[in-house]
Amino acid sequence: MLPLQRPMWNLRGSVFPTFAFITILAASSTLCLAQAGAKKVIKSEADLPRFNYPMTGTATELLQSDDATFNVFAAKVQADVESVLNDYEIQDHATLRDLLGVEVDLQLLAGNDRGALATITRLRGFEDKPAAKLLTGIGTLAMIEAQSATGKSSGPEYQAAYKKAYSAALERLPWPVVGNGIKELKSSAEIGTRALALGVVRASIEPAVAKSHQLGNDLAWELIQIRVNLKRNIPLREATIALLTEDVAANDIEKPDIWASRDVTLTSADKLTPVNVAIWDSGSDLSLFPGRVHTDAHPAPGADPHDIAFDLKGFPTHGYLLALDAKQTRQYPQMHDELKGLSDLELSIDSPEAAALRKQLSGMSPAQVPGFIEQLEFFANYSHGTHVAGIAARGNPAIRLAVGRITFDWHNVPLPPSEELARRHAADYQAYVDWFRANHIRVVNMSWGGSPQGLESALEKNGMGKDATDRKAIAARLFAIGRKGLYNALRSAPDILFICAAGNADSNSSFDEMIPSSFKLPNLLVVGAVDQAGGEASFTSYGPTVLVDADGYQVESVVPGGAKLRMSGTSMASPNAVNLAAKLIALDPQLTPRQTIHLIVAGATTSTDGRRHNIDPKRSVELLRQSKNISGQ
């Protein structure tokens, strides 16, 4: 399972997104027919077909090949994409966005600008978030307009026309709606160098090609998107950065922060009962929370009294925080600065860390990128659990933190999936929950998740499976083992409230079969992410199981050692809901998980479009006091 980090530092994917990141589409030979002769109905991602593309050379060679060579590959992909759009009945908007995004890329590569314009219009129709509906394809539209006006696709005249068209488009946009999205586009442009694009291919695509001499459709689509970036977007990178920088400077007014007025800070005067809260994550630096740490009164021999932990292969280990070796200890201060630099770029803060990161990336060769990505992934994971714990503990002297430490995989080529590993992880899930129950944990935060897609990707990068269809079958079998193990573990502890992150894929978690966020359990609350003003975050996943939303955009908290850092993601929204749950239970320890969920949901405010249900701690606490006649101080 992988932590649900905001893609702000996920450099494995597209480095210059014209559209939303293209997610991996799962496939299955099992298709549900609406009626004889009708289109095949897609009810989940597992119902989508899979495609396979043989490779005679490396992905990098194909990526940099002449148009005639690449277009042979692209034509095969386009035929498959069109077959899905034509032959299947798809209601899921995220899936349609993905397919149409690939269609636009293919049309651009083929020089079919008129077709790309029509497809962008269709794509915008499936965007559910207001900012995405306005921003999707904005750069591509400016390119097409510039090419139409000048009859050229490069050179000073074309660049001037592009800047004119892009600037006019930006002027028409309502900044309060699109501001965060503009900053995200600017950040992507600033880190989106040619070397980084080629380095991403080395890190995420070449391992699969080297081992299996083929590409599944997910990696094929990524290769096509990178081709578009290299040919169309990156040549305009400096002009795009200048335009977006100017737009930010002219319009950037800090959004109002709704969360400070909603927050609740408890004190000893509130007659609190200590409440045990577990951070089931990558490990937390408990030394940062003196007096607020849970201690197991009867630890197993040799066990740490504050945590339960398993290593990368699922074997028992110890320590509430992953131990760094000597080299990692030396690297950590620098990596903290790089993570801060990425965060600052996302907020358009021209800090020394942001400037240093821009300089570092501009001088990086493709060969250096895979190592940089792995190192960044490692330290992002290392910091993740502590950051989550800091959010959960804010303003609550009654909280007692414990740790369920997972060792997340940070390698470009992850550990090979196997049935043995899947069964070990399934048993680990139960062991974690048994420890939580034995230690009277009341609330557990789960800012992580997994899906069949993740297993398919790991299989492909390890060269496992005969082809994409075979990998789909293997992934489905292995995923079912882990899913059942996690579901049964959570269900076995009805007195514990589990709160989890919805996901960062801008998609329906239930359609994606994401676990645990697709689960429906009376003791599980799934949380989506909004920004400081309560607006829906561009990355947040959604779906029928997502009952509330919380602040998940550039949330400041501590990382190991005590320094502060902003992070974005539903990973940050989930512990904000945990923070509220723990405060409610500290005020009334008799609350059940179902009652606590009811208070959180009932206290939330619903947006006018009905898409967001933003938590309101003050309202929830007031509802509790009204129902229990608990006096406020």
Rg (CA), the chain: 24
Q: Are 245 and 305 in the same domain?
A: no
Q: Are 273 and 243 in the same domain?
A: no
Q: Are 263 and 240 in the same domain?
A: no
What pLDDT, on the 0 to 100 scale, is given for residue 189?
A: 94
Q: What is the mean pLDDT of residues 321-335?
A: 93
Q: What is the mean pLDDT of residues 367-377?
A: 95
Considering 232, 251, 270, which residue would you say is the last residue of a domain? 251
What pLDDT, on the 0 to 100 scale, is given for residue 30?
A: 26
Q: What is the mean pLDDT of residues 231-250?
A: 96
Q: Are 197 and 289 in the same domain?
A: no
pLDDT above 50 for 102? yes
What pLDDT, on the 0 to 100 scale, is given for residue 254?
A: 81
Q: Are 278 and 221 in the same domain?
A: no
Q: What is the 3-state secondary structure (H, E, C) of 172-224?
A: CCCHHHHHHHHHHHHHHHHHCCHHHHHHHHHHHCHHHHHHHCEEEHHHHHHHH
Q: Are 166 and 266 in the same domain?
A: no
For residue 522, count CB atoms less than 10 angstroms from its CB and return exposed for 0-12, middle for 13-18, buried for 19 or more: exposed
pLDDT band with cut points at 50, 70 and 90 for residue 37 = low
Considering 225, 251, 277, which residue would you say is the last residue of a domain? 251
The pLDDT tens digits for 575-594 are 999 999 999 999 999 999 99
Work out the end-to-end distance of the chain between its first and last CA atoms, rounded to an integer number of angstroms. Answer: 43
Q: Are 187 and 317 in the same domain?
A: no
What's the CA dihedral at 519, 523, 524, 525 to 10 degrees? Answer: 140
What pLDDT, on the 0 to 100 scale, is given for residue 1?
A: 53
Dump the DSSP string for 54-73.
E-SS-HHHHHTS-HHHHHHH
Considering 220, 251, 282, which residue would you say is the last residue of a domain? 251
pLDDT band with cut points at 50, 70 and 90 for residue 348 = confident
Q: Are 428 and 524 in the same domain?
A: yes
- Give the span between the Cα atoms of 146 and 586, in whole angstroms: 61
pLDDT band with cut points at 50, 70 and 90 for residue 25 = very low
Query: Are 49 and 420 in contact, with CB atoms under 8 Å apart?
Result: no
Query: Are 545 and 500 in contact, with CB atoms under 8 Å apart?
Result: no
What pLDDT, on the 0 to 100 scale, is given for residue 268?
A: 86
| CATH code of the domain in which 466 resides | 3.40.50.200
What pLDDT, on the 0 to 100 scale, is given for residue 625?
A: 93
The pLDDT tens digits for 147-157 are 999 999 999 99
The pLDDT tens digits for 596-611 are 999 999 999 999 988 9
Q: Closest Cα to residue 462, out of 407, 395, 398, 414?
A: 414
Q: Are 225 and 310 in the same domain?
A: no
Q: Are 247 and 269 in the same domain?
A: no
Q: What is the mean pLDDT of residues 381-396?
A: 97
The pLDDT tens digits for 476-510 are 999 999 999 999 999 999 999 999 999 999 999 99
pLDDT band with cut points at 50, 70 and 90 for residue 35 = very low
Q: What is the 3-state secondary structure (H, E, C) of 120-140?
A: HHHHHHCCCCHHHHHHCCHHH
Query: Are 229 and 170 in contact, with CB atoms under 8 Å apart?
Result: no
Query: Are 345 and 354 in contact, with CB atoms under 8 Å apart?
Result: yes
Q: Are 146 and 116 in the same domain?
A: yes
- Give the span between the Cα atoms of 391 and 149, in whole angstroms: 51
**Residue 359 resides in a domain:** no
What is the strand order of the sheet 40-42 is part of? 32-33, 40-42, 88-90
Q: What is the 3-state secondary structure (H, E, C) of 393-425?
A: HCCCCCEEEEEEECCCCCCCCCCCCCHHHHHHH
User: Strand 546-551 relative to strand 524-530: parallel, antiparallel, unpaired?
Assistant: parallel
What is the strand order of the sheet 605-606 is part of? 316-317, 307-310, 399-405, 275-281, 443-446, 497-501, 524-530, 546-551, 613-614, 605-606
What's the CA dihedral at 622, 626, 631, 633 to 10 degrees? Answer: 10
Q: Please tell me whether the peptide bond between 516 and the residue prior to it is cis, using omega within 30 degrees of 0.
A: yes
Name the DSSP class of 231: I
Residue 557, beta-bridge partner list = 565
pLDDT band with cut points at 50, 70 and 90 for residue 5 = very low
The pLDDT tens digits for 72-94 are 999 999 999 999 999 999 999 99
Q: Confirm whether pTM is higher than 0.85.
A: yes
Q: Which domain holds residue 533?
A: 259-321+382-628
Rounded (to 5) percent helix, strand, coil in the chain: 55, 15, 35
Dump the DSSP string for 294-322.
---SSPPTT--TTEEEE-TTS-EE--SBP
Residue 41, beta-bridge partner list = 32, 89
- Give the span between the Cα atoms of 344 and 352, in whole angstroms: 9
Domain count, the chain: 2
**Residue 126 resides in a domain:** yes
pLDDT above 90 for 228? yes
Q: Are 239 and 287 in the same domain?
A: no
Query: Are 75 and 68 in contact, with CB atoms under 8 Å apart?
Result: no
